[in-house]
Amino acid sequence: MKILKKVKLLLAYIFFELRYRQKKRTLEFPHVLSDEETIEYIVSHNASMSRFGDGEMRWIMGMNKNTFQDNSALLSQRLQEVLSSDDGNVLICIPNVFEAVGFLQLSSRVFWRSHLDKTREYWMNSLIPYKIYGDSLLTRPYFIYKDKSGAGKRFKHLVSIWDKKDLLIVEGEKTRLGVGNDLFDNAKSVARLLCPSENAFAVYDSILSTTIQNYQGRLVLIALGPTATILAYDLSKRGIRALDIGHIDVEYEWFLRKVKERIAIPGKYVNESEQKYINEESVLSGQQEYLNSIVARIL
């Protein structure tokens, strides 16, 4: 079955790659920084970051159904607003897959060639021709790569963003960024605001106001699906530096386990695994530091 699956993937990739090459001369391409350049830009400019992936585009197009976040006209409108914005204080990040995809593993190459075959026009109509975009895949340093040997270096570069900084993490109740691993060991301090694991946008105003109330000069890190994309932008507009870093913790957990499939992580909500959540509260045993870090809950 594994061989058959790989053959099917290879045939699909050839199909979409040929379609891409046939149209390449007539296509427009956005200017997207590499993952390393994106991190360097964020650090050197003290920039905020809002990230867009395939999910955000599907929410914009009204296509995302039966996911952890219900779609709505307002969600679509706000995401479109952020994607089309030209605010110098927030780096808008999009997937760096509009041209070369050879660095990706086969399944990811097929996925992105297929996705852009259907949505490229929507992307390009939303982007500003002269604008420089960051790479939204910077928070996926492990799983999608064909050569995973550089993942450790990519993670090390990424965590430098919050080195010796006071953090306010805004996350889903079951996301638990950094719990059980050393992802934020280099931070000066960590405070947490817990939000609904699903349909967080339904209480967006409360999340925004509570984040502002608990900001206290901290760097705000957000893992909350499309709500994070909008929240980072809105906070930046208010002079609060915020980074949408969804996927980073689960990617790190997969990296530590050296897995080849998107598996569930006990005690953490993993939207991309077959089993979204394994109720393993023992993960929190002895984690008094985590419990003490929670400054507010919106549930």
Q: Residue 250 domain-assigned? A: yes
33-64 pLDDT, tens digit each: 999 999 999 999 999 999 999 999 999 998 87
Residue 70 has pLDDT above 90, yes or no: no
Residue 282 has pLDDT above 80, yes or no: no
Residue 267 has pLDDT above 90, yes or no: no
Angle at Cα 121 formed by Cα 99 and Cα 65, nearest 5°? Answer: 105
Q: What pLDDT is recorded for position 11?
A: 96
Phi, psi at 258, each rounded to 5°: 55, 40
- Nearest Cα neighbor of 290 from 178, 138, 195 is 178
Question: Can you say whether residue 176 is alpha, beta or left, with left for phi > 0 and alpha for psi between -120 and 50 degrees?
Answer: left
Q: What pLDDT is recorded for position 139?
A: 98
Q: Residue 184 domain-assigned? A: yes
How far is residue 65's CA from residue 75's CA, in Å, rounded to a whole number?
13
107-166 pLDDT, tens digit each: 999 999 999 999 999 999 999 999 999 999 999 999 999 999 999 999 999 999 999 999
- Nearest Cα neighbor of 132 from 162, 93, 79, 160 is 93
Q: What pLDDT is recorded for position 280?
A: 65
Residue 286 has pLDDT above 90, yes or no: no
Taking residues 13-30, report their average pLDDT: 93
Number of domains in the chain: 1
Average pLDDT, the chain: 93
Residue in the structure block whose two tokens are 């109330």: 213
Q: Residue 11 domain-assigned? A: no
Task: Give the pLDDT band (50/70/90) at residue 2.
Answer: confident
Q: Residue 23 domain-assigned? A: no
Q: What pLDDT is recorded for position 284?
A: 62
How far is residue 82's CA from residue 294's CA, in Å, rounded to a whole number?
29
Residue 244 has pLDDT above 60, yes or no: yes
Bridge-based pairing state of the strands 90-94 and 189-195: unpaired
Q: Residue 243 domain-assigned? A: yes
Q: Residue 15 domain-assigned? A: no
Query: What residues are paired with 48 via a beta bridge?
Result: 90
Q: Residue 10 domain-assigned? A: no
Whole domain around residue 207: which residue ranges?
Answer: 28-297
- Nearest Cα neighbor of 162 from 232, 90, 220, 236 is 220
Residue 1 has pLDDT above 60, yes or no: no
How far is residue 183's CA from residue 158's CA, in Å, rounded to a whole number?
10
Listing DSSP states for the chain in one string gives -HHHHHHHHHHHHHHHHHHHHHHGGG----EE--HHHHHHHHHHHT-EEEE--HHHHHHHHT---SSSS---HHHHHHHHHHHT---TTEEEEE-S-SS--TTB-HHHHHHHHHHHHHHHHHHHHHS-TT-EEEEGGGG--STTBS-GGGHHHHHHHHHGGGTT-EEEEEEETTT-TTTTS-TTTTSSEEEEEEE-SS-GGGGHHHHHHHHHHT-TTPEEEEESTHHHHHHHHHHHHTT--EEE-TTHHHHHHHHHHT-SS---BTTB--TTSSS-----GGGGTT-HHHHHHEEEE--
Task: Give the pLDDT band (50/70/90) at residue 67.
Answer: confident
Torsion (CA) 243, 249, 205, 234 in degrees, nearest 10: 10
Task: Say if residues 144 and 102 touch (Cβ distance below 8 Å).
Answer: no
pTM of the full predicted structure?
Answer: 0.94
Task: Give the pLDDT band (50/70/90) at residue 68.
Answer: confident
Q: Residue 9 domain-assigned? A: no
Q: What pLDDT is recorded for position 281?
A: 62
Residue 285 has pLDDT above 60, yes or no: no
Residue 75 has pLDDT above 80, yes or no: yes
191-236 pLDDT, tens digit each: 999 999 999 999 999 999 999 999 999 999 999 999 999 999 999 9
Residue 80 has pLDDT above 90, yes or no: yes
